[in-house]
Amino acid sequence: MDDEYKNSGLVQTETSRLADPVSGNILEPPFGENLTAPAETAAPPSAPPASASAALADIPDIHVTTQDPNAEWEHQPATDETRKIIADARAVPNPDGHSAIVLDQKIEYTVNEDRTTDELRFQRVYLARDEAVDDWANYFLPQDPPAVTTRLQVARVIRPDGSSLVFNPEKLAGGADSESGAAPGSAQVFLPDAGAGCVVEIGYRTLELLDATLPEVSEAMPIQREVPVLKTELAARVPEKQHFRVVLKNDAAPPAESDTNGLHVYSWALGPIAAAEPLPGDAPAQEWQVWLGISSLPDWDEFVTWFHRIAQGSDVIGDSVKSEAADLAQGANTREEKIRSAFEFVSSLRYIAIELGVQGFRPRTPAEVLANRYGDCKDKANLLVALLHCMGVDARFVLLDRGGSTDITFPSWQFNHAICFVPKAPEAGQPADLWLDSTDSITPFGFIAPGDYGQEALVFGPDKAEFKKIAGTGSDVSTMDDEWDLAEDSGGAWSGTFQRRATGLADYALRAAFRGLSPAQRREQIYEQLGGLWPAGDLTGATVSDVSQLRQGMEINARAINGARSLPEPDFPWLKAFSSPQRDRPLLLNDGQQFAGTQTVRLHFAKAAPAELPEPVEIDEAGQTFRITWRKIDAHTAERVAEIAFKNPTVSVADYEGVRRAVRNWTEAVMKGEM
Say which range, 19-23, 131-135, 450-454, has the weakest mean pLDDT: 19-23
Question: Which residues make up the CATH 2.60.40.3140 domain(s) of the chain?
Answer: 46-295
Q: What is the DSSP string of 211-238?
A: -TT----EEEEE-S-SS-BS-EEEEEEE
The better pLDDT of the pair 71, 556 is held by 556
Helices (H) and strands (E) in the chain, counts: 12, 33
Checking if the pLDDT of 616 tops 70, the result is: yes
Percent with pLDDT over 70 in the chain:
87
For domain 46-295, say whether CATH 3.30.350.10 is its number: no
Confidence of residue 571 (pLDDT cuts 50, 70, 90): confident
Q: What is the pLDDT of residue 529?
A: 86
Range(s) within the chain of domains with CATH label 3.10.620.30: 305-469
Alpha carbons 349 and 374: distance in angstroms, whole number? 5
0.75 exceeded by pTM: yes
For residue 397, give the nearest of 324, 490, 462, 451 by alpha carbon. Answer: 462
- Residue 187: pLDDT band (50, 70, 90) is confident
pLDDT at 72: 87
Instruction: Please give the C-alpha separations between residue 190 and each of 72, 143, 172, in angstroms, as whole numbers.
Output: 11, 15, 11
Which secondary structure element, helix H or strand E, spans residue 156, and what is its range? strand 148-158
The count of residues in the chain is: 675
Q: What is the pLDDT of residue 567?
A: 84
Structure confidence at residue 32 (pLDDT): 31
Pick the CATH number of 305-469 from 3.10.620.30, 3.40.50.300, 3.40.50.1820, 3.40.630.10: 3.10.620.30
What are the pLDDT digits (tens) for 433-492? 999 999 999 999 999 999 999 999 999 999 999 999 999 887 789 999 999 999 998 888
Average pLDDT over residues 38-58: 35
Quick one: pLDDT band at residue 228, thresholds 50, 70, 90?
very high
| 8 A C-beta contact, residue 32 and residue 362 | yes
What 3-state class would DSSP assign to 469? strand
Is 214 a residue whose pLDDT tops 90?
no
Q: Residue 212 — pLDDT band, cuts 50, 70, 90?
A: low
| pLDDT score, position 175 | 47
pLDDT in tens, 91-120: 999 999 999 999 999 999 999 988 899 999
